[in-house]
Chains A and B, each alone.
Chain A
Amino acid sequence: MNSSDEDKDKLLSKHLQHVFSDFEHDPPPGTGRPIWQAIPRRTAVYRWLAVGSMVLLLLVGAGLYVMSPERGAHGSEYGRLGTHRVDRHKHSAPYGLRKRGRTTEQNRVYSGQTYPDGNTPDRSRLAGQPAVQPIGERVKFAQGKTVRPGRERSQPARAVIGWLAQKVSKRTTRHSMNKPTASATGPIAAAAESVAGEYRNVQPVAPISYATLRERSIQSKRSVYWPLTLAASATVDRKSLSVRPRVFFGVTPVSSYQRMTIVNTPETYVQHVAAPSAFAASTWGYQVSGGIEWKQTTIQLSAGTIRRWAYYGVADGRFSVTPAETNQYEIRRLDQPVAESESLRLLSAGMNQQIRVGRAHSPYFTRLGGSASYVPATGQSLAWVTASAGLTLPVANTYQLQVGPTLEYGLSRLWSNERQLIIYPYLVGVTLSLHTQRP
C-alpha cells in the first residue's frame, strides 16, 4: 500500500466516521419484547408490598372480627343464660345475635328429649321447631306467626305461608276453644309447608305451648326481616354494626383528568394554552381496594393502573409555504404525529367517614375523606380529597353490595418538565364494593 492509498484510506475513514458519528435508526416495533422475556428482571417490590398489605389487612380484619369484645361478651353471656334470661333479653339483643341465642337456647332446652310417640325428629324440628309438649295443654297460635325461625324463604313463599297459617290458625283457635288437641299443628304445618313446596314428607308434629310459640313467633318475625321489627331494633342494629369491624373489597373503574394553570416566570414561553386537552389526554384505568369499615370509618388500601393513549402532533423545523391570496403566502409549520401509550401505577391508602343519607336504615350514603398515593414509577407522593356516594344493596345475609360514584381531587400540584404548567389531577370513577356484615 503506497502513501496515496493510505491518504485515500484516511480520507475515506474520516468521512465515514463523520457520516456515522450520529447515525441512528429506529428499530422495528416489537424489537424489545424478546429482550424483556430473556433478561433477568427483578419483580417490582411494590407489587409484593401491595399484596402483603392486602393480606395484612385481611388478617387484621379477621382478627378484629373474631376478637371483637362485643362478640366475646355475648358469647359468654349466652353460655350462662337459661331459657328465661333469653326470653327477657331477646328484645334488646342485637339482631344478628338473636339467632345464635336462640340456637343455644334450643340446644339447652330440647336436646336429649324424645318424642312421646317415638318418632324421630323431622326437618321441622331440626330447624328449630319445639318438639316436646305435654299432651292436653292448650294450643294457641299467635297471629300469622307460622314462619319457621332460622329458615330463609323467598318472599312469595313467606307470604303464602303466613296467609295460610293465619287462616288456619283462626279456625283452629276457634275449634280448640272447646277441645284442644295435640295434633292441631299437624295439618297446619303440613298445609303451610305443602304450599311452600319445601317439605315433601311432613309429619304431624307435637303441639306447641303458648309461651314457647309466642317466643318463637317473635323471633320468627325478625328472622324474616319483618319491617316492623327492623324499625324497632334500628338503634340496636346500628350500634352493633358500628362496633364490629367489617371487611370490604372493591373495584373502581376510573378515569383521570387534569386541570392546569400556567406559571408566569421570566422563562415562560407558553403564553396561551388554548386546548388543555392536548396536554392532558383523558385516561382510563382501574383501582382495586380493600379495607376495614369500623364505626362508620373506612380505612382502605388500593392499587390501580391508569393508562393514557394520546395522539398529537409535535411541531418540528419544517415549514410549508402555500399561496393564500394574491401576492400573499401562508407559512405553516409542519408537525409529526406522535402516539403515546403510557401507564401509571398508583398505590394508595386512605380514610373516609361514612354518613348515611336519610333515615336510619336508608340505603344511601356518602363518604368523605382523604388518601395518599405513591407512584412507584416516578417516586411521587400525591394527596387526594375523596368524596363518594352510593347505594347499599343486601346480598344474602352476610354481605352488602355498595355501588356509587367516586371523585378524588388531587391536592398535590404537579408541573411539567419546564415547570410552566401546574397540574391539578383528579379521578372520577364508579366504585363497586362488597362488604361483609353481621349474619
Chain B
Amino acid sequence: MALFGKHTYADLTQLVRACQAQRPKAQRLFYERYKRRMMGICIRYAHTEVEAQDILQEAFIKIFSHIHTLEKPDSADDWVKSIVVRTAINYYHQANRRQERFVAYDQLTDEPVSDDYEEWLTQHNAETWVLLLSQLPDAYRLVINLYLIEGYTHAEIARLLGVPEATARSQYSRGKQLLVNLLKKNGTERHELFG
C-alpha cells in the first residue's frame, strides 16, 4: 500500500546516490536489495552459517563506508559482489581464523566417475553443492569458489590470496578432487542445508 509502502527509488543510480548521501532509508533499501544474494555468496565461501553472517556484516560495513568511492552507480551489482568476495577471502586469511584442515591422502585418490559426467553433475542442486563446499578446507574452498564459480584465473587467484600461482593451482587441483570424492560419497542424497 502506498501509505505504508517502502520508498522505491526510480533506479539503482538514485539508490546509490542516496546511499552516498548516507540516507538511512536508502541504506536499508540497499541492504534489502542485496542481502539475500550476498548471503548466498557468503555461504559458499563460509564453513558455517555463523561465519557467513559475519562475512556479510563485515562486507556491508565496508560497502556503506566506501560507497562514496563508487563513481559508476550502474555497476553497483558487481562492485558489491567483489567486496563481498574480498571480505570472504580476508576473513579466512586472517591468522586467528586459519583452521586449515589436514586432508588424508587417501581422500584425494582419483576415482573414476560416471561416464556421463555432465548428467551426473546435474543431479545435485545448489544446497547439496553448498553443503559439500562447506566440508572443504578453507583454502581449497576459496580456490574452488574463485576458479570454478567466479571465473578468476589461477594468476588472479594467486594475487588475491597472496600465494604463488603454482600453489593456487595445486590447491585447486586438490580441492576439486576432494569435492568430487565428497560428491560421490553423498551420492544423490538430498541434504537440507542450514535447517
Q: Determine whether A44 belongs to the interface, using a CB cutoff of 8 Å to chain B.
A: yes
B5 near A417 (CB under 8 angstroms)? yes
Residue B3 at the chain A interface, CB threshold 8 Å: yes
- Cβ-neighbour of A415 out of B2, B125, B149 (below 8 A): B2
Q: Are B60 and A35 in contact (CB under 8 A)?
A: yes
A40, B64: Cβ atoms closer than 8 Å: yes
* Complex CA–CA separation, A268 to B27 (angstroms): 34
Interface locus among A16-24, A140-148, A315-323: A16-24
Against B, the Cβ 8 Å flags (1 = close, 0 = not) of A396-439 are 00000000000000000011110001010100000000000000
Interface size on B, residues (CB 8 A): 47
- Inter-chain CA distance A32–B122, complex, in Å, is 35
A258 interface residue per 8 A CB criterion: yes
Among A25, A36, A375, the most chain B Cβ lie within 10 Å of the Cβ of A25
Contact between A28 and B24 (Cβ–Cβ < 8 Å)?
no
The answer for the CA separation of A57 and B25 in the assembled complex, in Å, is 28
Decide: A9 and B176 in contact? CB cutoff 8 A: yes
Chain A 367-401 interface 0/1 with B at a Cβ cutoff of 8 Å (1 = within): 00000000101111000000000000000000000
Q: Which of B32-58 contact A (CB under 8 A)?
A: 35-37, 39-40, 43-44, 49, 52-53, 56-57
Q: Which among B22, B124, B149 is the interface contact of A41 at CB below 8 angstroms?
A: B22
Report B30 CB to chain A, min CB distance, Å. 11
A136 within 8 A of B: no
Cβ 8 A contact of A27, one of B39, B124, B129, B151: B39
In the docked arrangement, what's the CA distance between A425 and B5, Å? 14
Kindly report which residue of chain A lies nearest to residue B144, judged by CB atoms. A16
A158 at the interface (CB under 8 A from B): no
* A38 CA to B49 CA, complexed, in Å: 21
**Contact assessment for A344 and B43 in the assembled complex, using a CB-CB cutoff below 8 Å:** no
The contact string, 1 if C-beta is below 8 Å from chain A, for chain B 11-39, is 00000000001111101100100011101
B156-187 CB contact bits vs A (8 Å, 1 = yes)?
A: 00000000000000000100100000000000
What is the CA–CA distance of A342 and B6 in the complex, to the nearest angstrom? 9
Q: Interface majority SS on A: helix, strand, loop or mixed? A: mixed
Is the beta-carbon distance between A31 and B4 smaller than 8 angstroms? Answer: no
Check B121 for interface membership: any CB of A closer than 8 A.
yes
Asked if B126 contacts A19 (CB within 8 A), the reply is yes
Q: Smallest distance from the beta carbon of A353 to chain B beta carbons, Å?
A: 28
Closest beta carbon of chain A to B64's beta carbon, Å:
4
Q: What is the bound-complex CA distance between A222 and B156, given in angstroms? A: 93
Say yes or no: is A91 at the interface (Cβ < 8 Å to chain B): no
Q: Knowing A42-B22, A42-B23 touch, does A31 contact B57 (C-beta < 8 A)?
A: yes
Does B61 lie at the interface of the complex (its beta carbon under 8 Å from any beta carbon of A)? yes
Which residues of chain B have C-beta atoms less than 8 A from A112's C-beta?
none
A20 touches B118 (CB 8 A): no
Do A423 and B61 contact each other (CB < 8 Å), given the known contacts A20-B129, A31-B53? no
Chain B's closest residue to A340 (CB) is B4
Q: CB distance A39 to B117 under 8 Å?
A: no
- A423–B2 CB distance below 8 A: yes
Instruction: Given the known inter-chain contacts A26-B39, A34-B57, A35-B64, please indicate yes or no for A416 contacting B1, CB distance below 8 A.
Output: yes
A35 contacts across to B, CB distance below 8 A:
31, 57, 60-61, 64
Question: Given A41-B24, A423-B1, A8–B149 Cβ distance below 8 Å?
Answer: no
Q: Is the CB of A31 within 8 A of B35?
A: yes
Chain B residues positioned under 8 Å from A279 (CB to CB): 1
Does B7 make an interface contact (CB < 8 A)?
yes
Q: Which residues of A contact B155 (CB under 8 A)?
A: none
- A147–B21 Cα distance when bound, in Å, is 67
Q: B4 and A25: CB pair below 8 A?
A: no
Contact B129 A16 (CB under 8 A): yes
Alpha-carbon distance between A25 and B126 when the two chains are bound, in angstroms: 11
Measured between beta carbons, the chain A residues less than 8 angstroms from B118 are 11, 15
A1-16 to B contact mask, C-beta < 8 Å, 1/0: 1000000110111011
Would you call A243 an interface residue if the criterion is a C-beta within 8 Å of the partner chain's C-beta atoms? no
User: A380 contacts which chain B residues (CB < 8 A)?
Assistant: 2-3
Distance (Å) between the CB of A31 and the closest chain B CB?
A: 6
Is B35 touching A27 in the complex (CB atoms < 8 A)?
A: yes
Residue of B24, B36, B124, B148 near A9 (CB, 8 A) is B148
**In the complex, A379→B2 CA distance in Å?**
11
Chain A, Cβ-Cβ closest to B43: A25
Assess whether B65 is interfacial by the CB under 8 Å rule: yes
**C-alpha spacing A330/B83, complex, angstroms:** 50
Q: What are 15 A-B contacts defined by CB distance under 8 Å?
A: A17-B151, A20-B129, A23-B130, A24-B36, A25-B36, A26-B39, A28-B53, A31-B53, A35-B61, A39-B64, A39-B65, A258-B3, A377-B7, A378-B7, A380-B3
* Seed contacts A32-B28, A423-B2; 7 additional CB < 8 Å A-B pairs: A11-B118, A19-B129, A27-B35, A34-B61, A35-B60, A41-B22, A414-B2
Which residues of A does B touch, CB under 8 Å?
1, 8-9, 11-13, 15-17, 19-20, 23-28, 31-32, 34-36, 38-42, 44, 258, 279-280, 308, 342, 344, 375, 377-380, 414-417, 421, 423, 425
A-B interface, 5 closest residue pairs, ranked by CB to CB distance from nearest? A24-B36, A39-B64, A42-B22, A23-B40, A414-B2
